[in-house]
Structure 1
């Protein structure tokens, strides 16, 4: 079971610096849009307004971190992690993880296969219910079925479609 990692004071200092370095350009851009002032003049305003704009920018960053955290939990769940494992990684109970990420663990909703018709052939793209990856099967215009050799699953439907399309093009009828 994975436990929530602790960081050293040096790592915390480096992380704080990296986050502040990343935050400053965003804070300047957001403040510029709100005030109409150029970004390089962000710090010339009333200190209360400047610090409130920084706080508002942290809110934007916090929302993105929550989204990315939920995505990571869902990805771990799609690969088979349990709520107990998610909770251990986050430093909370299994019940806390289930409450925080209610859709992270369990069967993925069934995605209907997608059909691709190109170059006189037809391919079917199918998503795995467990991993979320995509595979394809095709019959080309010249009658060849593919893929002709085993291929690894693709992370996106678009990538699977690109491989299927290349196969259909390669085996297009030459009439």
Structure 2
């Protein structure tokens, strides 16, 4: 484990090689699973504020789900998550050539919202569990990401580097620099051993 400020980071972020391969996985993380993506409470308001400019990028079924149930749901532990369409894909998922993509992110790329997408989606396959005095930053192993493990190994890119932008978005540049420094120090010690 790697302690950085108020976080405990799993060694997996430094050790596992990972780069998403959408051509192979087809964005399955937006479709598979029992619940939608975790949402921070403040993200709910951002989505609600911009839902009308996000809707043109959504599927008809996704819009119906949002209109019926709102922009969030709850998981089994009472945490906020994105709603699902008929228990399947995220209400904000849309598809091109059978590849899922995020309607919120497409709206962001089009310049109609300043909210990129839920930070949990940006961070995936990392999941953050908030404890009493710290955040546990862990790799979520899931078979649907096997193509990303193969791609990451082929490219030699560790998970923390692949997720640099998302980790900075969540914890800031200073935090990321500390993480990078600690990982480099550990790697140097391993090389010298």
TM-score normalised to structure 2 length: 0.21
Larger Rg over CA atoms: 1
The one of the two structures with greater contact order (alpha-carbon pairs below 8 A, sep at least 6) is 2
TM-score normalised to structure 1 length: 0.23
